[in-house]
Structure 1
Amino acid sequence: MQNMVPMWFQHIPAKLLESKATATEWLKYYVAFRKAAPFISVLIFVHGWVEYALIAILITHLTDDNWLHLPKAASIVNVQDGITAFLVLVVAYASDAYLGPFLAIVCTTMAYITGLMLLFFAAWRLTNVQLQLLYVSVVLVALGRAGREVPLKEFLADQFRTERSSQDEDQVQSRRKIWWRSAYILGICASVYVFANTSWIKLSKVSTIAMVAAFLWFLAGIAFYKRRPPTYKSRLNDAFQVVYAAISKRKLSHTPSGNVIPILRCLDKASIVEPSPSWEEQIRKGRLWEVEDVQEVKRLLSMIPLWITFLVYGLLQATGNTFFYEQVNYMDTHLGRISNVPVVIFVIVKSSTSFVVSRICESLLLYYWGEKVPRDVILRVIGAGMAASPICCIVAWRVENYRLQKYVNLDVSITVFWLVPQFFLLGLMEGLVFGGMEEMFYAIVPKSFSNYGPSFTQFSLNIGNFLSLLVILVFGGLFSDDLDTSSLGTYYALLGYVCFVNLLFYCGVATYYVKESDHEKEPPLVQEIKQKLEQEIPPAVEQAQNW
């Protein structure tokens, strides 16, 4: 035993050196400094602060002092989120094809500043024009938020790219994420302590000033930026032209050979050669496409049935972004010496849960299946998130009924921390569904559309915000000027039933995608037999010819 102790001590320096080498290698791979990064990071920081301090909890300001009735305020917030989801796709397309990331950031940030300024004027309660200013500001703020999602991330990643063709794209994205998450998380933390419980007028004023300062600082670093020019040709534009070509040839009966995807057969006509004009003229006008291009568009459009299942998911998400936060104003926000717990705390609970859950799923999928995750596994991950939606509604229903019971019978406000479980479940649902949808997009859609993965994912998951407008209109009798006179618990219960039915619908759609995946892939035994046949058939044919 005495001889073993010195030997054990002898291995310590070697272990320390090995650990140091591993840590150094990790830092060199994931962490890099570029002169442009600090200028971009300040803009990211302010985006995070404004998002969590003002925009995410906008409904609590709109209903402050009964300025807007609850249904109208919820509708405005949901419209803004829905427009943002749509504009994310539009801005990504414009940035890729026409503007480039830098000009897209400049245009969207200027729109964001103008929207925040109009929001400040609306908060001033200007007579006769306050609602008109609010509507315009909602659209401009949505455009500014859309510019953050794709162009700003791509522009930051461009600063870590080099001229080498063999550069590791995973390394570029990892370095981009380190800078992005550090700045954005600092902005989130600042939202808790800086002007957390201030008035709407002061908060919108400070947000405008902060965004202007960050934008000027961003422009100050223009000498250090790598500016990628626009491509002037986008695969999304090609997809539109393929659909247009197929519609224009809808009366043709012939279907070309080589179409291997047995869905959306009508699009196959885009690869038919017409008698006139010439073959080259048809290609130039976008009326003739290769079979491979048509198949890629069909793979993109094959995501539509899955996207439809997320309309109800978007409806619940819209409910969480409006009524969940509004409940905070009707509960006891005291915690010890803290006189008023900020609403942004619950935004952080939801977003941090979503982030942690998505990272855990990503790590587990990468550990067990590597880069090629089976489609049925991805669908199970999404299904787990969809299964959390009715549970979240049930919990919210019980909490709201309990709050009303205490308020009506005892005139007592329950503690605001009763809301933590429903925000946690909402974050759990978002983390599973969003991460799974991105993986599903990359598993089905070809690589030529991979740049639009985050845009399409956010669009499909947030387009349900527009559905909330119809639901609020249909069930308008459940809502009144405030929560105390509304039947919000009944609305949560109805939404829970809808989420459960939608879960069954999703299971049916997921079964279709699993079957399609089984048709597309061949078992290893079949592949082995084909390889043997390819090796044996040519000699056999040669022998038969000689015979």
Structure 2
Amino acid sequence: MEAGMDCNPEGALVSVMDPLLSEKEHDEQQYVSDGSLNCNGLLAIKGETGGMKSSFYILGYYVLAQAALAGAAINLVLYTTRVLHFGNIAAVLIGTNFVGATYLTSFLGGIFADGYVGRYRAAGIFLLVFCLGLVLLTISASVPYLTPPTCSMGVVPCRPASIGQITFLVVSLVLIAVGYGGSEPCAIVFGADQFDEGDAAELIQKSSYFNWQALAYSLGLLIASTFIVYIEDSYGYKIGFAISTFIAMASVCCFFAGTPIYRFQKVQGNPFSHVSRVILAAAYKWKVQLPDDVNLLYEANDDESSRQANQRRKHTKNLRFLDKAATITEEGIAVESEQSPWHLCTVTQVEDVKSLLNLIPASVSTLIYCIVHIQIFTLFVTQGISLDQHFGNFLVPPASLITFNTLTSVLFTAAYEFALMPLIRRFSSTGQGLTTVTRIIVGLGVSVVAMLVASLVERKRLAVVEKYDLFDKLQVPMSIFWQIPQYVLVGLSEVFAYVGLTEFYYVESPDALRGAGACFFLVWVALGSFLSGLSVTFVTWLTSNDGQPGWIANNLNRGHLDYFFLLLAALSAVNVLYTSVCVHTGKELQESFANYQEEDQP
């Protein structure tokens, strides 16, 4: 189990229910109904553990960890161009691949947590790796031998970074990506585990937790895009990266500080083993005839996982092929279950896998949305470099405009939680505000507008370039603050789409596979980041034939970045339509499943 070794020095397994307490005393102490344990391995008591009081430690960690990560990621494009002398396309690829790798490695965290050590320990281990990566990144920016010489005035091209220097940078970025990526799904799900779904009040608090989690994400970005970015731009990257390192260490302390009041779930086993068992059992019995009566499908009476938080799952009519895994053959239950456990699964196990596979349509929406969202860290910053960055006598760092994105997320998330959500609850049958799919569709729609505005701003910038013949100038006389609307709109889309998608993957995933469900979401975010980099490369290759500089040129004044933003707007519009169709189809399927389940009842 996950709990036990953290507060109990001997690591002994203690009884989940103290036998000396009477049933009446248990009721008076209000034990949780989902089987969660405290740090001593005892059944958790509501008043002493969990809820918002314990989740705030996790949210505090999330603010600090996100600030540390963003402090390194936001200016990564500028660092690689200004210090390591990369070209625009190479720098964008470094940025997108780093973000993609950060989310892709979430699979490591999910597997390690759900299958072996639990979410609490896994988050702690990966956070230490995260800190190590930031230490190495600080060293790479501080030691002169690890960076190329400063580019002298009039010397073109600048001396590029050597293979050794690039390798050291890549190693540090890999450790940061593995550390943060591995800890994030563990911490997100661990935070949601602090609420008992069997308690109506805590169930509402859980819905609010996802809003608070989005707020924590935005606050972390706000710290990075204001304080850390300013330090990096004014006093050097080595100082900025060092500050990110200390903030990451503080996030580790904040996370462990809540240990005495955390609730812990038992380790459910390797999620891939869970899924593989069902798929292989169904494939092994592909010739077996399904029974006409679904009540004949196998469900063990002593199935431990079915009696805990996930409970028994009702049979559904979709993906009927997987039902073969729970079909009892002529050999009988005893022979199959004892000699070949991978040949016979319970209905609950089959339905868990069905639920996970049903998340695939939503993954396409996630993928396309992330291609748009990643632009605030890459092409938006590249676009800002070519604009006038003066605000009076103050020089505005291009990456600091992400502040407007994060401020929007913070303000609108707070407005949704404290003003809009209570109002909607009065007229909602669920009492939990907007449905997750409604939030997702609204957010996707806002992302379309964001890309249209970014295209219009770029078109105006190119018009200034053409009017004053500034094709070979690094900057044009147009204020960088023209970019504010596009950052604000992307921030608004996060409040709806990103938060909605995070909650959707958690709620729709089966209890036994919620770690895998969180990884599923983050992996699609990673693939969206990688696909963004591939789209930049592909579009550049496609549009730079016959000596043309292409849409995304090293000299943006001779490119057409506005066309690329229009392409993303069109792609986002298709995504809105696709998601709406999936939601409509999903509702029809849910109604048919509900009717079928009623017929299944004895």
Query: Structures share a fold, TM > 0.5?
Result: yes
Per-residue CA shift, 1:375-412, capped at 9, x if unaligned?
A: 9x543432222222332222111111211222343343
Contact 2:49–2:263 (CA<8 Å) still a contact in 1?
A: no
Q: How far 1:481 sits from its partner (Å)?
A: 2.5
Q: How far 1:59 sits from its partner (Å)?
A: 1.8
2:570 corresponds to 1:515: no
Of 221, 228, 241 in structure 2, the residue corresponding to residue 204 of structure 1 is: 241
Contact 1:102–1:227 (CA<8 Å) still a contact in 2?
A: no
Match of 1:96 in 2: 114
Output the CA distance in 2 between the equivalents of 1:414 and 1:456: 42
Per-residue CA shift, 1:116-146, capped at 9, x if unaligned?
A: 2333354442632122223333322112222
Q: For 2:342, what is the secondary structure of its paired residue?
A: coil
Match of 2:561 in 1: 488
Contact 1:296–1:446 (CA<8 Å) still a contact in 2?
A: yes
Query: Which structure 1 segments of 5+ residues have no match?
Result: 1-27, 535-547
Match of 1:149 in 2: 184
Contact 1:121–1:130 (CA<8 Å) still a contact in 2?
A: no
1:45-124 equivalences under 5 Å are 46-64=64-82, 67-123=85-141, 124=146
Match of 1:413 in 2: 477
1:518-537 equivalences under 5 Å are 518-521=591-594
Contact 1:314–1:465 (CA<8 Å) still a contact in 2?
A: yes
Match of 2:281 in 1: 245
**1:287 and 1:362, CA in 2 relative to 1: closer, same or farther beyond 3 A?**
farther
**1:257 and 1:121, CA in 2 relative to 1: closer, same or farther beyond 3 A?**
farther
Contact 1:299–1:446 (CA<8 Å) still a contact in 2?
A: yes
Q: For 1:231, what is the secondary structure of its paired residue?
A: coil
Match of 1:473 in 2: 537
Per-residue CA shift, 1:275-330, capped at 9, x if unaligned?
A: 55963554663321122321232122112122223322222122333101222222
Match of 1:368 in 2: 427
Q: How far 1:364 sits from its partner (Å)?
A: 5.3
Match of 2:493 in 1: 429
Residue 233 of structure 2 aligns with an amino acid whose one-letter code is N
Q: For 1:379, what is the secondary structure of its paired residue?
A: helix
Output the CA distance in 1 between the equivalents of 2:361 and 2:482: 36
Output the CA distance in 2 between the equivalents of 1:504 and 1:223: 45
Output the CA distance in 2 between the equivalents of 1:183 and 1:508: 30
Residue 289 of structure 1 aligns with an amino acid whose one-letter code is C
Query: Which structure 2 segments of 5+ residues have no match?
Result: 1-47, 149-161, 298-314, 471-475, 545-550
Compare 179-188 and 313-322 and name the one that shifted more.
Answer: 179-188
Q: How far 1:243 sits from its partner (Å)?
A: 2.0
Q: How far 1:374 sits from its partner (Å)?
A: 10
**1:219 and 1:460, CA in 2 relative to 1: closer, same or farther beyond 3 A?**
closer
Of 165, 176, 182 in structure 2, the residue corresponding to residue 130 of structure 1 is: 165
Output the CA distance in 1 between the equivalents of 2:137 and 2:78: 14
Output the CA distance in 2 between the equivalents of 1:493 and 1:145: 33
Output the CA distance in 1 between the equivalents of 2:195 and 2:361: 36
Per-residue CA shift, 1:35-67, capped at 9, x if unaligned?
A: x988x7875554243233222342222222572
Bigger share in helix:
1
Output the CA distance in 1 between the equivalents of 2:422 and 2:111: 30
Q: How far 1:91 sits from its partner (Å)?
A: 0.8
Contact 2:421–2:432 (CA<8 Å) still a contact in 1?
A: no
Residue 368 of structure 1 aligns with an amino acid whose one-letter code is F
1:299-378 equivalences under 5 Å are 299-337=355-393, 339-343=394-398, 345-358=400-413, 360=416, 363=422, 365-371=424-430, 378=436
Match of 1:543 in 2: none
**1:97 and 1:368, CA in 2 relative to 1: closer, same or farther beyond 3 A?**
farther
Per-residue CA shift, 1:191-246, capped at 9, x if unaligned?
A: 5235252422332234335535665x569969968694851525564233212322
Contact 2:104–2:523 (CA<8 Å) still a contact in 1?
A: yes
Contact 2:225–2:402 (CA<8 Å) still a contact in 1?
A: no
**1:111 and 1:230, CA in 2 relative to 1: closer, same or farther beyond 3 A?**
farther
Contact 1:156–1:176 (CA<8 Å) still a contact in 2?
A: no
Per-residue CA shift, 1:138-178, capped at 9, x if unaligned?
A: 322112222442334566788x789xx97964598679997
**1:282 and 1:452, CA in 2 relative to 1: closer, same or farther beyond 3 A?**
same
Residue 301 of structure 1 aligns with an amino acid whose one-letter code is L
Contact 1:121–1:133 (CA<8 Å) still a contact in 2?
A: no
Residue 346 of structure 1 aligns with an amino acid whose one-letter code is L
Q: How far 1:419 sits from its partner (Å)?
A: 0.8
Contact 2:134–2:244 (CA<8 Å) still a contact in 1?
A: yes
Output the CA distance in 2 between the equivalents of 1:57 and 1:366: 41
2:425 corresponds to 1:403: no
Q: For 1:413, what is the secondary structure of its paired residue?
A: strand
**1:226 and 1:261, CA in 2 relative to 1: closer, same or farther beyond 3 A?**
closer
Contact 1:273–1:279 (CA<8 Å) still a contact in 2?
A: no
Residue 334 of structure 1 aligns with an amino acid whose one-letter code is H
Larger Rg: 1
Output the CA distance in 2 between the equivalents of 1:383 and 1:45: 26
Match of 1:387 in 2: 445
**1:473 and 1:391, CA in 2 relative to 1: closer, same or farther beyond 3 A?**
same
Output the CA distance in 2 between the equivalents of 1:61 and 1:322: 12
Output the CA distance in 2 between the equivalents of 1:453 and 1:151: 11
Residue 487 of structure 1 aligns with an amino acid whose one-letter code is H
Contact 2:124–2:183 (CA<8 Å) still a contact in 1?
A: no
Residue identity over aligned pairs, in percent, reads 22
Output the CA distance in 2 between the equivalents of 1:208 and 1:277: 59
**1:130 and 1:297, CA in 2 relative to 1: closer, same or farther beyond 3 A?**
same
Contact 2:366–2:521 (CA<8 Å) still a contact in 1?
A: no
Contact 2:215–2:410 (CA<8 Å) still a contact in 1?
A: no
Per-residue CA shift, 1:93-127, capped at 9, x if unaligned?
A: 32233123343233212321232233335444263
**1:487 and 1:119, CA in 2 relative to 1: closer, same or farther beyond 3 A?**
farther
Output the CA distance in 1 between the equivalents of 2:260 and 2:443: 42
Contact 1:84–1:146 (CA<8 Å) still a contact in 2?
A: yes
Compare 494-503 and 453-462 and name the one that shifted more.
Answer: 453-462
Q: How far 1:422 sits from its partner (Å)?
A: 1.0
Q: For 1:250, what is the secondary structure of its paired residue?
A: coil
Output the CA distance in 1 between the equivalents of 2:497 and 2:319: 26
Q: How far 1:489 sits from its partner (Å)?
A: 1.5
1:242-321 equivalences under 5 Å are 242-254=278-290, 257-258=293-294, 260-275=315-330, 279=334, 281-282=336-337, 285-321=341-377
Q: For 1:94, what is the secondary structure of its paired residue?
A: helix
**1:296 and 1:342, CA in 2 relative to 1: closer, same or farther beyond 3 A?**
same
